[in-house]
Amino acid sequence: MLKRFILIRGIEGLMVLLLAAIPLMINNGFMLGLLTLLAIYGILLIGLDITVGYLGLINLAQAAFLGLGAYAAGLTVTHFGFGMLSALAVSALLGLVMGGLLAFPSLRLEGPQFALATLSFSALSATILNEWESLTQGAQGLQLVRPPLFGLVLDAKGFYWLCLCMLGLVWISMKNLLFSQWGRAFEALRDSPIATDAMGIGTYRHKVTAFALGSGLGGLAGGLYAFNFEYLQPSVFVYELMVILLLGVVMGGRKSLWGAFVGAILIVLLPNLLSNRLLFQIFSAIGFLSALGAGGLALYQKRTKPFQGVAPMIAMGLLVVGSLTVQNTEDWRKAIFALMLFSVVVGLPEGLMGFAATFLSKIFKIEPLPLATPSDLEQVLVKRDVDGGPLLQLQDLKCYFGGIKAVDGVSLTISSGTIHGLIGPNGSGKSTLVNVVSGLYSPTGGSILFQGKPLVRGSLFDVARQGISRTFQNLQLFSELSALDNVMVAMKGWYRSSLPLVLMGLAKKDEKRAEADALALLEMVGLADQARIPAKDLPYGAQRFLEIARAVARRPTFLILDEPAAGLAHPDVMALLGIIRRIHGRGITIILIEHHMDVVAGLCDMVTVLDGGKVIAEGLPDVIKRNPLVIEAYLGKGSGTASPEAVSLATPSPVPA
Amino acid sequence: MNQALMQMTVSGALMGLVYALVAYGFQLTYATSKSINFGQGELVMVSAFFSLTLTDLGLPYYLMIPGGLLFGVVAGLFVERAGVRLALEQKSEGWILMTIILGLFGFSAAENIWGRDDRPFPTPISSDPIQLFGISITPLEISVAVGVFMIMAVIELFKRKTLLGKAFEAVSADRDAAELMGISATRTIMLSYGLSGLVAALAGILISPITTVGPTMASALVLKAFSVAVVAGLESGFGVVIVGLFLGSLESLTSYYVGSGWREAPGLVLLILALAVRPTGIFGKGVIRKV
Amino acid sequence: MRRGVLTVLLVGLLATQAYAADSIKIAITGPFSGGSAPMGASMRDGAKLAIAEINAAGGVKVGAKMMKFDVLERDDEAKNERGALIAQELASMADLAGVIGTVNTGVCLSGDKHLQEKGITKIITPAAGSASMTQWSKAKVKDLSIFRFAAHDGIQAAMVVEEAINRNYTKVAMLYDSTNYGVSGRDDMVDQIKKQGNKLQVVVSEKFNIGDKDMTAQLLRAKNSGAQAVLIWGIGPELAAVANGMAKIGLKTPLIGGWTLSMSNFIDNSGKNGDGTLMPQTFIEEPITPKAKSFIAAYHKAYKVKRIASPVSAAQGYDAVYIFAAAVKQAQSTDTKKIKLALEDLKEPVQGVIATWKKPFSAWNPDDETTHEAFRREQVVMGMVKDGHVVFGNDADRQRLIKNATSVKGKK
């Protein structure tokens, strides 16, 4: 604990002190210029990392936000005589607002479409800055003078310290944010946007917030950029700069403040590195040897694919050959950058810092923080009173996809406090039915009443907010997050500290409480001792249980379990029965979609059977088992005499689809 | 004035056809692998430079073309192997970055091998304008239009009529099902990148005589092609031609009537709007989210 | 003991100074990569040619010693940010004698202030728009260490407008690229039209972007408004696109514009469509004088080319070095501040390839930036593109230069 504190906080503090002290020790304008730029790019890249690292989206607009922020600062100073801080505030605010505006339409997109939307935004903003000559002076460029800070005229050194302070502030508040409910939600929605919506977190609003924050930092960096260079031209903030920024983040390491910082160092220092031939030769040789060593070892131990091991060797080898043969290395700058990046992206997908972090934590054996003591489950899940009245009523519900009638006029009532089974052969419309109820699909017709009121339609998020929670037939865990974090993400709606408080680091208490509560839930499903393990590394059965714990963390009135036993081994099925009973015991109404007849028979108070999108039978489990219609639906015509057990035989443990 | 309108529409539309051709290259790879080459512009440029070198070596124009196209295919295959395959295997979007990186390398290599200057690209086709209904148009421009339609027709025929082409269609329609039928998705993706490289090389050869050859020749072009591909829908086939023609003329008319500095603006606004309203493109199909 | 350490340190310090004092450390900066590279690289190569010549002859005599030039190259990539960083780096070098270079105005605007702050002498060449000097007159700087060795846009614009008026045109179209260079060129031309009595009516004023290939829209507007000439400000490749576009839509008016119309990437890419294009030039790659002949031959030989990518840049880089060397010789020092003073008052004429420079600069006067500008109207001639080369646009200019060269020789 202490070691961890000293190592992590200590290194950060040491770094700041060192950076702050350099200008006192060495009086060199060039060095100061580089350091100032380093601080500015540090802020910019931390902002970019929010979208690229945490949201996992390729964002090509950060250079544009840098430009907008720079012009905002420049124009407010030259036109309205703003002071330093107010101009910077305007820059950051403009980035924030423009980021939000861009985010609204484009964040529904994924992958290449999102990248393209941001690329167009960059091009558009460059065009506007260039064409709006009356305001920005267009291509002529805008000259400005660095305004005083509270009446104090800053020289180069003073301004550098200001930039460093800003970087420190950004660093601390981002750290607070990223290790809070917010940061966790950002990462969650990268892994599964559907599940974040279903957990009532609101994929869209989080994406917009994250993107706007990142853009706001871009704007702030822009303001500092303007005051550093005191001369702006629209042609600076274009695609080329953007590519370099993006590569800086990736090379430094995504999802890491240190990574962004290292990326900034690389961007700032690389051109100078190349101008010294010997230095460059040494550097490329080290690169080649490490690619050779690391790649060779990984290949030998068969930890990696041949391509991942060999490609960086070839790339770094090319670099060595180039450093020895090429006359003017500066001419090849872009190619050199490309080769280095290629090696890093292929060989060290986590970036330089990601690699260093794993390495360092191994050397120093940094232990994670100890877990909180689990809360009492009684308090986490306060027992609900149930009156046995109708909780969910479906009337003539229809859902068609083109000509396919997946759900065709289903009417169904689920009483509060029950476990209601929903069975039927493959393709009978069970999953579609719960997808409609939970808001993933919009119904084609019919009505849904929840607690006597019409339920919102077609929005996972809104339905989740009504107190309906669900699991998924195909697991939708946040695979990169730990088991604990998976559960804590779902608690977001419960523990609400406002964003400014979180940024200032005043939400730690909330955080601890959430952790204790989440542990109680993990304990309930028997995963308390695996809380720190990333979801993707858990065994299959544990992943199923984790998804249930996560759904329960919403403290729902009504829980949809979509084939929770699919693919489970027998002991796990037994454990599942226990878990479901325990949840039911807290007064939560459950709808259970299942193939396993024994699970249904053992748990359910009532069973509905679907076939071809229609209800073919409804009743107590034992009665349903003997219903000839049901047996026929499962086994086909002419099997009316089959024994009751035939139903469960007909559906041997289905493989998880 | 009306004649100016006609002239601007036609000359913009011709440019739009080139956008469409490059956009078509995006579609080919997107169909099979849901990935596109962000360095496609550099691929166009490097292929054009290579073809120029062939011409400089004394190869006649019509023999140079297959040479240039072959180079495009090889380059396309290289992009797939070095930049895309690993990311696809990991089911990540790493290919966006990887193709940007490969493009950067190609750009720098071209700058140093062939020089930073723009160079003329010799062609036997005349660039003396002829008058058609009062509109000036050069045979060279007509050859671009002919080339664009020809290559697209050939590839579409290939996809529909040959066994290999049908495998291509199968993987585009449903990758998993195709693999279960014994079609190798990896090979089909390679094929699509090869074809995409071929299309890029042809685009380079077609426009070079008009725009000259230089390292930056395709950077503006490829941005437009992105817009066209996305607005039309990355899976829409001939939709790119319609959108390409529309965008080309729109740009041309904007720069004539609004001001040449605003030339790029309508395309960009159109792109953001199209993405906001119909993320799958005007001619694209909607997708059903499955869980 | 302590004394010993101090002595060693002192000796070490002196030793490095003695080492540094052996050479004249000069930095050459400019875009050696990217779109303006032909200008930057030609300037660098011209300057290095001059330095090689001086060094081969033993160097510059300072005191009793012959000192050689030591060159430091920095590529600013035509980027402001790089320019600023490079200037900061150069400004922090204690033993730097001076800086030569810069093509892009933006780079001057973001970088030169660092040099000026430390009083480091810089000769801006080959280009840069007016703003690179007017920024100092506007700021009323008292003492300036920045000089310019280029035909400033004012002279060029004056000549372009004059040419159009001399040809009795009344309606002209103005085209310019959307960069700082293009836009300030437009402003200069508009200014000159006013100054020269508003005899020209600008019927169309249109922009184009770097990388644009299709200029039909702009040119069609020019054609439809009946322009008799196209006055243009831009850089090679786009200029070629304009020339080709004019041929396509049948706009058969002359193209007159800034000196960049002599760049090889314009001449090559416009082919026959570029013939007849007129532009002010400080140097024409024609061996009309012995000095020009030897310069051209040496350049071709040293860099294995048959034609200089940007002859103007190369010649200016070459002459700038000779002027700088003359200042070092006169100052008898490598101290950049003393060199600056010598530059402001060069006693002996310097024989360059463009002209024989007599007192190119004088003491800085904030109200008149031409005090730090070397070029006057008479050093600039009108060039014309003909069959892939730039030749003299007016034979009178040619004869005048030949006569000047021989008269200087005669004096000797």
Q: Which tens digit of pLDDT belongs to each residue from A639-656?
A: 444 444 444 434 444 434
Q: What's the confidence (pLDDT) of residue A230?
A: 85
Contact B263, C209 (CB under 8 A): yes
Which of C71, C88, C140 has the highest number of chain A CBs within 10 A, making it the mutation to test binding with A? Answer: C88
pLDDT tens per residue, range A100-133: 988 877 777 767 778 888 888 888 888 888 878 7
Map out the domains of chain C with their CATH numbers.
2-151+289-378 (3.40.50.2300), 154-281+381-403 (3.40.50.2300)
**Does A105 sit within 8 Å of B223, measured CB to CB?**
no
Q: Identify residue B196 by its one-letter amino acid code.
A: S
Q: List the single range of A457-466, A635-644, B101-110 with lowest mean pLDDT.
A: A635-644
Q: In angstroms, how far is the first alpha carbon of chain B from the final one?
A: 57
Residues on chain A touching C91 (C-beta within 8 angstroms): 29-30
Nearest CA among C79, C236, C80 for reference residue B216: C236
Contact A417, A590 (CB under 8 A): no
**Does A229 sit within 8 Å of C84, measured CB to CB?**
yes
Count the Cβ atoms, other than its own, within 10 Å of residue A322: 17
Does residue A209 surpass a pLDDT of 60?
A: yes
φ, ψ of residue A273 in degrees (nearest 5):
-60, -40
Does residue C15 surpass a pLDDT of 70?
A: no
**Does B230 sit within 8 Å of A113, measured CB to CB?**
yes
If you average pLDDT over residues B107-125, what whole number do you get?
83
Between β-strands C381-386 and C389-392, what pairing exists: parallel, antiparallel or unpaired? antiparallel
If you average pLDDT over residues A12-41, what whole number do you get?
86
Across C76-156, where does the E strand assignment appear? 96-101, 122-124, 146-148
For residue A302, give every residue at least 6 positions away whose Cβ sits within 8 Å of its Cβ, in sequence order, or none.
none
DSSP symbol at B80 = I
**Chain B: residue whose CA lies nearest to A339:** B105
> How is residue A567 written in tokens?
């693919």
pLDDT tens per residue, range A339-391: 888 888 888 877 888 778 777 777 776 667 777 788 787 777 888 887 878 88
**Does A472 sit within 8 Å of B276, measured CB to CB?**
no
For residue C139, give every residue at least 6 positions away whose Cβ sits within 8 Å of its Cβ, in sequence order, or none.
none
What is the spatial distance between Cα B74 and Cα B50, in angstroms, rounded to a whole number? 12
- The dihedral through the CA atoms of A634, A639, A640, A644 has a sign that is negative
pLDDT tens per residue, range A469-508: 999 888 888 888 889 888 888 887 666 677 777 777 777 7
The CATH class of the A387-650 domain is: alpha beta
Contact C249, C223 (CB under 8 A): yes
What is the spatial distance between Cα A583 and Cα A475, in angstroms, rounded to a whole number? 20
Name the range with the highest mean pLDDT among A193-202, A586-595, B47-56, C361-370. B47-56
Tell me which residue has tokens 């977001």: A492
Using CA atoms, how far residue A469 sits from A554, A646, B1, C400, in Å, is 7, 32, 64, 92
> How is residue B98 written in tokens?
């990887």
Residues above pLDDT 70, as percent of chain A: 94
Instruction: Tell me which of A30 and A108 has the higher pLDDT.
Output: A30
Give the start-to-end residue ranges of the domains of chain A.
1-17+41-267, 276-370, 387-650
pLDDT tens per residue, range B227-286: 888 888 877 667 889 989 999 898 888 888 877 777 778 777 777 777 777 777 777 665
pLDDT tens per residue, range A400-441: 887 788 888 889 899 888 999 998 888 788 888 888 988 888
Half-sphere exposure of A170 (CA within 13 A, CB side): 32
ipTM: 0.86
Count the Cβ atoms, other than its own, within 10 Å of residue A282: 12
Q: Identify residue A621 by its one-letter amino acid code.
A: P
Q: What's the confidence (pLDDT) of residue C21?
A: 54
What is the spatial distance between Cα A526 and Cα A535, in angstroms, rounded to a whole number? 14
> How is residue A118 written in tokens?
């941001």
DSSP symbol at B38 = T
Q: List the single range of A98-112, A190-204, A360-374, C49-63 with lowest mean pLDDT.
A: A360-374
Q: List the single range of A233-242, A430-439, C242-251, C342-351 with lowest mean pLDDT.
A: A233-242
**Does C37 sit within 8 Å of B138, measured CB to CB?**
no
**Does C33 sit within 8 Å of A141, measured CB to CB?**
no
For residue A641, give every residue at least 6 positions away whose Cβ sits within 8 Å of its Cβ, in sequence order, or none.
none
Which of C76, C77, C110, C238 has the highest number of chain A CBs within 10 A, making it the mutation to test binding with A? Answer: C110
CA torsion angle A515 A517 A522 A524 (round to 10)? 170
Count the Cβ atoms, other than its own, within 10 Å of residue B92: 13
If you average pLDDT over residues C238-242, what whole number do you get?
87
Q: What's the confidence (pLDDT) of residue C407?
A: 61
Q: What's the confidence (pLDDT) of residue A142?
A: 83
Contact A544, A575 (CB under 8 A): no
**Chain C: residue whose CA lies nearest to A36:** C85
Instruction: Tell me which of C1 and C190 has the higher pLDDT.
Output: C190
Nearest CA among A237, A208, A43 for reference residue A121: A237
Cis omega (within 30 of 0) on the bond before A500?
no
Considering chain A, what is the average pLDDT of its residues?
83
CA torsion angle C93 C94 C99 C103 (round to 10)? 30
Q: How far is C75 from chain A (nearest CA, A)?
A: 8
> How is residue A330 written in tokens?
């500066």
Across A68-161, where does the E strand assignment appear? 142-143
CATH fold, domain A1-17+41-267, is ABC transporter involved in vitamin B12 uptake, BtuC (1.10.3470)
**Does A332 sit within 8 Å of B96, measured CB to CB?**
no
Q: What's the confidence (pLDDT) of residue A371?
A: 77
Instruction: Tell me which of C198 and B198 has the higher pLDDT.
Output: B198
Contact A69, A173 (CB under 8 A): no
- Give SS3 for C16: helix
User: Residue C30's beta-bridge partner residues?
Assistant: C75
Task: List subunits contacting chain C, requiring 3 or more Cβ pairs under 8 Å.
Answer: A, B
**Does B89 sit within 8 Å of A339, measured CB to CB?**
no
Q: What's the confidence (pLDDT) of residue B291?
A: 58
Nearest CA among A431, A434, A498, A493 for reference residue A466: A493
> How is residue B96 written in tokens?
């966006």
If you average pLDDT over residues B75-83, what whole number do you get?
91
Residue C387 — left, alpha, or beta (φ > 0 → left; ψ -120 to 50 → alpha)? left
pLDDT tens per residue, range C377-397: 888 888 888 888 888 888 888
Q: What's the confidence (pLDDT) of residue C411?
A: 39
User: Residue C25's beta-bridge partner residues?
Assistant: C70, C96
Q: How confident is the model at residue C307 (pLDDT cuts 50, 70, 90)?
A: confident
- Of the candidates A130, A141, A236, the beta carbon closest to that of C79 is on A236
* Gyration radius of chain B's alpha carbons: 19
Q: How far is A102 from chain C (nearest CA, A)?
A: 25
Q: How confident is the model at residue C63 (pLDDT cuts 50, 70, 90)?
A: confident
Using CA atoms, how far residue B206 sits from A204, B47, B142, B149, B187, in Å, is 44, 11, 10, 12, 28
What is the spatial distance between Cα C156 and Cα C188, in angstroms, rounded to a whole number? 9
- Of the candidates C224, C241, C250, the beta carbon closest to that of B4 is on C224
Does residue B116 surpass a pLDDT of 60?
A: yes
Tell me which residue has tokens 């949201």: A55
What is the spatial distance between Cα C398 and Cα C404, in angstroms, rounded to a whole number? 10
If you average pLDDT over residues C11-34, what whole number do you get?
65
- Of the candidates A133, A236, A272, the beta carbon closest to that of C80 is on A236
- Is this prediction's pTM over 0.90? no
φ, ψ of residue A209 in degrees (nearest 5):
-60, -50
Nearest CA among C37, C31, C32, C29 for reference residue C265: C37
For residue A477, give every residue at least 6 positions away whose Cβ sits within 8 Å of its Cβ, in sequence order, or none.
A191, A192, A195, A486, A535, A536, A543, A546, A547, A550
If you average pLDDT over residues C63-86, what whole number do you get?
86
- Give SS3 for C208: strand
Considering chain B, what is the average pLDDT of its residues?
84
- The dihedral through the CA atoms of B67, B70, B74, B79 has a sign that is positive
> How is residue A140 written in tokens?
């002529």
What is the spatial distance between Cα B59 and Cα B46, in angstroms, rounded to a whole number? 18
